[in-house]
Chain A
């Protein structure tokens, strides 16, 4: 990702100048991971696309606030997507939709089947899903996970491990990292 950004400094400059086409080119490689992050956080694919769209507009407006080189773009953008998901979950309609969600099986750690794990993931608080998605699903290095979470690298490591242990209580730190 960093390489992609480094190859397009003109797009970065044009985007910072307010060129929407340049910005859409810049974030296009990030839309897929952003969507996956949002979909897991929200548990709703349509809402995830809406969140990514909204986050993209916000990111464009805030692009001038981005510090660091082009490699900072991915964790920065994903943090905006995560914030957008938090906002979406707080909104009134969201609670209405959630009422209609079917009951899921209990006991998050029980069983080794993938469906059990999926249910367990969906039962996790969104703030626990976030470090897991960043680290495992999007395969971000820990330093980027930390930047996306807005915490130190050691704190990010702790959050990943804590969240993983909620899914599999017998995991050791060596199993996770």
Chain B
């Protein structure tokens, strides 16, 4: 068989398998880069090197003797890596307007539930950060886990913003007309997380509030401005549950 025929047939087969990427892929990638908590470039390496050098200097001075209390002479501040999203000690709302285009409609799930299974679930995935952010076309809530992914996450839209608190059974009314219930199985929201449990995000996710954190089940409710069209996915290193809600 002539090579051109084989190549043409093979490429046709490849093309029918792959199709074309969604038009939103560049925006998704860019958004993931912006949301990536560690931006490690030469600056970060320089920071690590500075830490190592500072430690050596402190050690040498300590051994030599005359500077037992000489911390102030060591440029500790220089050794601190430049702040990044992950370095922020307060997992509060961090609106980060992005000029990127919003994901296309085809990415979003509208009006139906979604279950995400953890790919490498920890015994109990420790939540250590909850962040909200606004982007062009969508609001994002990011729940970060310290030691692995939870067993699974169920995301269920609802036509009101009234939720039931797991512990008390009381009804709570969040801001907005619609809602999204996030139920995380195999998670712990209190061991590693001490940040806010009621967050105001933007014009799409009006309010995010923790509803339950008991016996391995963590629930968050999102109060939304309109019926939920959302896209939920995992990011890793560190493990993050990301939910984008169209605005």
SS of B interface (majority)? helix
Give the bracket for the number of chain A residues in contact with chain B. 35 or more
Q: What 1/0 mask marks residues of chain A from 12 to 24 whose CB sits below 8 Å from any chain B CB?
A: 0001111011011
CB of B40 within 8 A of CB of A56, answer no
Q: What is the bound-complex CA distance between A132 and B7, given in angstroms?
A: 10
| A169 vs chain B, min Cβ distance (A) | 11
Contacts of A17 in B (CB 8 A): 41-43
Query: Within residues 53 to 75 of chain A, which ones have a CB less than 8 A from any CB in chain B?
Result: 53-54, 56-58, 60-61, 63-64
From B87-95, B200-208, B231-239, the one touching the partner chain is B231-239
CB of B233 within 8 A of CB of A64, answer no
Q: What is the bound-complex CA distance between A54 and B82, given in angstroms?
A: 23
B34 within 8 A of A: yes
Give the bracket for the number of chain B residues in contact with chain A. 35 or more
From B11-19, B55-63, B139-147, B212-220, the one touching the partner chain is B11-19
Contacts of A27 in B (CB 8 A): 29
Known: A49-B21, A49-B25, A50-B233. A117 touches B33 (CB 8 A): no
Q: Number of residue pairs across A and B with beta carbons under 8 Å?
A: 143
Contacts of B33 in A (CB 8 A): 20, 23-24, 56-57, 60
B226 within 8 A of A: no
CB of A35 within 8 A of CB of B29, answer no
CB of A171 within 8 A of CB of B36, answer no
Q: Spell out A's residues near B (CB within 8 Å).
A: 15-18, 20-21, 23-24, 27-28, 31-32, 35-36, 39-40, 43, 45, 48-50, 52-54, 56-58, 60-61, 63-64, 91-93, 96, 112, 114, 117-118, 120-122, 132-133, 136-137, 164, 167-168, 170-171, 174-177
Q: Known pairs A23-B33, A58-B237, A132-B10; list 12 more (Cβ under 8 Å).
A: A15-B41, A17-B43, A20-B33, A20-B34, A36-B21, A53-B28, A53-B32, A54-B235, A61-B36, A117-B9, A136-B14, A171-B1
